[in-house]
Chain A
């Protein structure tokens, strides 16, 4: 199959990556279903990117430096 063209959507490009990694393990039917799952990932991504955040909005997950003797 030829690579995605310049007009390919994000989902097309992402699916091309996924397909390249796993296609040999999958049937045509499974690949088709996998394409729908990648489309879903693209929808999730679009929903997240639609929300604007401030620079100060940090990940809600605290990192703590580690010391074995602390």
Chain B
């Protein structure tokens, strides 16, 4: 079988039935990463030696009848902010940290190893996960992330995780989101991404950008794939005090016949670019076949200002050493070399005010979501920008209140493909749910993908 662009269950069945070996899978995807990874600036480090060791172990275990589950023997890539031991660099996408190594694997990497998955690559990312305020695609020492659809920006900061999955270089990848870093590459690379509830997945061993906003989650071809991966990586971890003591099991039951209650925040698509708005309006017609769609209103609060204040403040502290020492002058994006200095102007009382306002936002979001299965909205308000776009000054990006609210309140969301522009660039849709309701939003996304075929389209490579 050709394992490229296969959903995880198909790969898992083939591995379990020994129609394909984990070694063959690892060799296939290592070869694709080596050949095609540079085309998309997706690759930082090919972990060939580790991958072949893990694949051979999986081969032996499965041959001995010890199949661990659906990720056993399946290759994957990790955003290069997840620590890996064994001398494999973990660069955080930043030129001055090219040689950085850690002694041990991040918890997420350990959990995937326990599930039998095979790490084949550390994938590119926007430098320091965008924490310095980049305003252009070219903000990583590996170059701008490139989408397999049309050569536009891949989105970020989980750029390589998006483009590698979108180009069939790995079956799935792990990314992180502080504000938009999973949903944006999922949208711009035409794939599915899951942002879990804050605290669902341990961040131990992951680069800290913003302690109260950072989340780790999967990018894959389908919502079902994302559920399978979340099942492997979720759960409490004594090494991360924010990892909630809430065991998680993915519920992959049939969604046929299930009725959903969807909400649409009034004017949510208003700031979106016209093709995104048009696709969103059409998606509502599809969603009405599987449930109700009602307009909802949210209190008038400065959602984006609250989220941005928290993000800027915590990132300034997380990277205090690099900023104060002037090491940021070695970063790739010119604006990342000086913009962080402006954060000295954020007063402590304003940061605390943002944390107080966060409570209002969390309660307001839950008030609305308590009557719904999910809020639906464009996955990203913008279409994928060209690689030379300055999206901060001349082309200020459309507002993103859903991203601000969802990340501020730590809510789960799934981004799924939702059509293409007339130029063939991908557009996405998001389902955002109540805290800890990953199974609900994944069910809604699976129902969506059972009625549409956007997630089955593949780029010409």
Contacts and interface: CB of A to CB of B under 8 A. Distances in A.
Q: Do A and B come from one complex?
A: yes
A18 B341 CA distance: 7
Interface string B284-307: 000000000000000001100110
Given A30-B338, A47-B302, A48-B302, A41 B359 contact: no
B103 to A, nearest CB: 23
Given A48-B306, A49-B350, A38 B355 contact: no
Given A50-B302, A51-B302, A21 B344 contact: yes
A43 B33 CA distance: 44
Interface string B305-323: 1101100100000000000
A37 B342 contact: yes
B345 A41 contact: yes
B347 interface: yes
Nearest to A10: B345
Q: Give the size range of B's interface with the partner.
A: 20 to 34
Contacts of A59: 352, 355-356, 358-359
A37 B362 contact: no
Interface in B349-384: 350, 352-360, 362
A21 B341 contact: yes
A45 B341 contact: no
B343 interface: yes
Contacts of B329: 25
Interface centre among B212, B302, B329, B342, by most chain A C-beta atoms within 10 angstroms, is B342
Nearest to B346: A41
Contacts of A17: 344-345
A18 to B, nearest CB: 5
Given A14-B345, A17-B344, A41-B346, A33 B362 contact: no
**Interface SS of A by simple majority:** helix
Contacts of B362: 60
Q: Give the size range of A's interface with the partner.
A: 20 to 34
Contacts of A49: 350, 353
B339 interface: yes
A48 B342 contact: no
25 contacts: A18-B344, A18-B345, A21-B341, A22-B341, A25-B326, A25-B338, A26-B341, A30-B338, A33-B338, A34-B342, A38-B342, A41-B343, A43-B305, A45-B309, A48-B305, A48-B306, A49-B353, A51-B302, A53-B357, A58-B359, A60-B355, A60-B356, A60-B359, A61-B212, A61-B358
A53 B344 contact: no
A48 B345 contact: no
Contact of A53 (B305, B341, B356): B356
B112 to A, nearest CB: 30
Contacts of A26: 338, 341
A1 B212 CA distance: 39
A48 B354 contact: yes
Interface of A: 11, 14-15, 17-18, 21-22, 25-26, 30, 33-34, 37-38, 40-45, 47-51, 53, 57-61
B432 to A, nearest CB: 19
B350 A44 contact: yes
A40 B345 CA distance: 10
A26 B334 CA distance: 11
B341 A48 contact: no
Nearest to A26: B338
Given A48-B309, A53-B357, 15 more contacts: A18-B345, A25-B329, A26-B338, A33-B338, A41-B342, A45-B350, A47-B302, A47-B305, A48-B357, A49-B350, A58-B359, A60-B355, A60-B359, A60-B362, A61-B358
Contacts of A21: 341, 344
Nearest to A23: B341
B27 interface: no
A44 B309 contact: yes
B237 interface: no
B231 interface: no
Nearest to B361: A60
B335 interface: yes
Interface centre among B341, B353, B358, by most chain A C-beta atoms within 10 angstroms, is B341
B148 interface: no
A50 B355 CA distance: 15
Contacts of B212: 61
